[in-house]
């Protein structure tokens, strides 16, 4: 990835104002901040806090649980217009990208580019993307990317490299954007949105704009406790429906519709063999969070300073305020970024309340310049030869 391209794309972001103009609802937001509850406990930034598993597998229980149709998967086809495979030959990746472009009648449309958190996929933004498209009537596009070893992004190598360090993830993200928008002079004005681990990626990619529920201080404090917290998660599930049900029942995701869209992509069938044709559990985590432990510190160390140093407008959206680290607390008091708290949500706030998140992001977008979006020729629709 050339420094020239990054500089050109950073210039697009630099067009956003450093100091946000005051809004009419500023006083209302201040009142909300005084009355809201806390961020989730340890685990913030690395995925949802582990909840007591209501469906934790009893090792002596042989009877499998029948799938509950109330938690059956929902197709994302009504939430994104396109599902694309973006080839990154230099990185040995074939990346899944979900995309709703701006309407053709509005050539000046901006594109919001979203990066998910650890263990999830681009479909965690599906409901929010639909809400944004409906709210702006297609003036603004939304793109969501499956990161390496997540979702339907696959390695083109025989054995997939394990490396999920922040530098690798940032280069993957930047290469996807460069492939989709190959000419930085003709590219759209992009608003980068990252949730949790994704917030670290977008902040380091081009000086990210919008970060969802990740704070360096609380994430780093959580690291020593993560293995204990992950022990509360099931090893797997009898069905996709059970995986969805677990996330909803434990309030890991509080919006059943969003869970039915996003969770099928975070589990996969267990490997079978002639000696083990019926594995138990039948579905396992596609990206076991425990396997990503060597990279946790790289994801979050220095995140606050990188966020505050970005030469662009910045937005931090949280589920609560009490876990702001000292650096961000000082930055907030100095007015260096806009902060919004969304009540009644957990760590997966963009899934829990996609309508409110869409309103926040659209309001942020409407203050900023809009340019033309162009799609590169190296992308094929899923199923195209």
SS percent in the chain: helix, strand, coil, step 5? 40, 15, 45
Cβ 324 vs Cβ 332: under 8 Å:
yes
The partner residues of 154 in beta bridges, in order of sequence, read 94
Give me the catalytic one of 213, 238, 352, 353. Answer: 213
The partner residues of 143 in beta bridges, in order of sequence, read 99, 113
Give me the catalytic one of 124, 133, 187, 196. Answer: 196
- Determine whether 196 is an active site residue: yes
| 152-170 core/surface letters (b: 16 or more CB in 10 A; e: else) | bbbeeeeeeeeebebebbb
CA nearest 145: which of 175, 176, 187? 176
Please state the φ and ψ torsions of residue 191, each to the nearest 5 degrees. -110, 115
Q: What is the H or E stretch that residue 299 is in? A: helix 296-300
User: Distance between CA atoms of 325 and 327, rounded to whole angstroms?
Assistant: 6
Q: What length is written for the chain?
A: 385
The structure tokens listed for 335 are 């007015």
Give me the catalytic one of 347, 350, 352, 353. Answer: 347
> 166-180 and 197-206 helices cross at what angle (nearest 10)?
60
- Determine whether 347 is an active site residue: yes
The structure tokens listed for 337 are 């970024």
**Active-site residue numbers?**
196, 213, 347
């Amino acid at each position: 990835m050339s420094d020239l391209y990054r500089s050109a794309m950073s210039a697009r972001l630099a067009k956003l104002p450093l100091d946000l103009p005051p809004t009419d609802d500023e006083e209302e937001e201040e009142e909300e901040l005084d009355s809201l509850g806390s961020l989730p406990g340890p685990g913030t930034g690395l995925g949802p806090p582990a909840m007591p598993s209501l469906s934790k597998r009893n090792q002596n229980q042989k009877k499998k649980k029948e799938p509950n149709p109330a938690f059956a998967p929902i197709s994302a086809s009504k939430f994104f217009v396109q599902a694309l495979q973006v080839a990154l030959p230099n990185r040995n990746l074939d990346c899944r990208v979900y995309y709703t472009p701006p309407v053709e009648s509005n050539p000046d449309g901006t594109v919001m580019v979203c990066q998910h958190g650890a263990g999830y996929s681009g479909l965690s933004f599906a409901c929010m993307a639909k809400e944004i498209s409906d709210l702006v009537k297609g003036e603004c596009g939304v793109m969501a990317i499956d990161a390496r070893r997540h979702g339907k992004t696959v390695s083109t190598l025989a054995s997939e490299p394990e490396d999920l360090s922040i530098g690798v993830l940032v280069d993957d993200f930047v290469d996807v954007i460069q492939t989709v928008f190959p000419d930085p002079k003709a590219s759209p004005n992009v608003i980068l949105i990252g949730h949790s681990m994704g917030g670290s990626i977008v902040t380091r990619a081009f000086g990210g704009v919008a970060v969802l529920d990740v704070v360096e201080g609380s994430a780093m404090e959580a690291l020593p406790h993560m293995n204990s917290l992950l022990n509360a998660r099931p090893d797997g599930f009898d069905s996709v429906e059970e995986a969805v049900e677990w996330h909803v029942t434990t309030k890991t995701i509080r919006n059943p519709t969003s869970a039915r869209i996003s969770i099928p992509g975070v589990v996969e069938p267990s490997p079978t063999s002639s000696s083990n044709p019926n594995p138990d559990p039948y579905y396992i985590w596609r990206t076991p969070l425990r396997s990503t432990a060597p990279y946790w510190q790289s994801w979050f160390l220095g995140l606050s300073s990188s966020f505050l140093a970005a030469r662009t407008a910045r937005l931090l959206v949280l589920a609560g305020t009490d876990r702001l680290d000292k650096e961000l607390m000082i930055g907030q008091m100095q007015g260096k970024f806009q902060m919004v708290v969304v009540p009644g949500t957990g760590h997966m706030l963009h899934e829990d309340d996609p309508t409110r998140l869409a309103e926040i992001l659209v309001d942020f977008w409407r203050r900023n310049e809009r340019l033309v979006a162009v799609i590169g020729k190296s992308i094929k629709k899923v199923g195209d030869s």
